[in-house]
Amino acid sequence: MRVLVVEDEKKVASFIKRGLEEEAFTVDVAFDGEEGLYLAENNPYDIILMDLMLPKKDGLEVIKELRAKDVTTPVLCLTAKDSVEDIVSGLDSGSDDYLTKPFAFSELLARVKALLRRSSKDRGAEIHFADLRLDPVTHKVWRSDQEIDLTAKEYALLEYFIRNPNQVLTRAMIAEHVWDYTFDSFTNIIDVYVNYLRKKIDRDFDKKLIHTVRGVGYVLKEG
C-alpha cells in the first residue's frame, strides 16, 4: 500500500511516516499544497493524508482540484479545526474522512485501514496466487496453509508482487511502490530483499514462484 502524507509540520509528518512504514506501508511526504497536488496527480496512491492548513495551497483546494481532475484516491483530512462547519467543509470538498489533531497513531491507523477497506471491495479480502495466500488486513501470509513470518518490508514487497502477478516488475517500479519516489533503485537493496523473500516463499517448496528476469527485474509466476 502506498500513502501520500501532505503535512507542513515536519515532526508530525515524520511521526506519521515512521508509524505507517512500521505497518508495511510505503510513504511519500509533501510539505506544502503545491507539492502534494503534483505528487497526487502523478503517482498512484492507495490513500492520501491531507493537512488542511498548508503553505502555497491549502488542503481543501488541493482536494477540490484532485476531484475535479477525477483523482478518486481516498483522502483523510488532518487538521486542528474541529467545528461542525470545518468538518462539513472538508467532506464537501471531496475528502472521505476527517481526523482532528492531536490524535493517537492507533486511531490514525484504524481510520486509514477503514478507508482502504471501503475504497475497494477486495482490499480487505485475502489475495491468492497459486498456493500463496495473503491477508491485507492482518498482514499474514501462508503458502500451502503454512504460515510464513515476514518483516514489514518483506510483506510490502510480496504484496506488490501478488497484486501484479505474471508481470515483470523492474527495480525502478519496485523502488517506487515499495520504498518511495526518492529511493535509489540502483543500489542492491532491492535484490537483497527479493532474495530474503525468495528464501521464505520458495525455498521449502518444489514449485518456485519468484523468478528473475535477467537485466530487467523480477516476476511472480508459476513455473
pLDDT tens digit sequence for 142-178 = 999 899 998 878 888 999 999 999 999 998 888 877 8
pLDDT, tens digit (0-9, with 9 covering 90-100), for 43-69: 989 999 999 899 999 999 999 999 889
Q: What pLDDT does residue 207 have? A: 93
Strands (E), the chain: 2-6, 26-30, 47-51, 75-79, 97-100, 127-129, 132-135, 140-143, 146-148, 169-170, 210-213, 217-220
Calculate what percentage of the chain has a pLDDT beyond 70.
87
- Per-residue DSSP letter, 3: E
> What does the alpha-carbon distance between residue 223 and residue 46 come to, in Å, rounded to a whole number?
31
* SS3 at position 11: helix
Q: Which residues pair with 216 in a beta bridge?
A: none
Which cell numbers in the block locate residue 125?
479480502
Half-sphere exposure (CA, 13 Å, Cβ side) for 2? 19
Beta-strand relationship, 217-220 and 210-213: antiparallel
Q: What pLDDT does residue 72 have? A: 83
Domains delineated in the chain: 2-119 (3.40.50.2300), 127-220 (1.10.10.10)
Q: What pLDDT does residue 152 have? A: 77
Q: What pLDDT does residue 15 have? A: 94
Whole-prediction pTM: 0.65
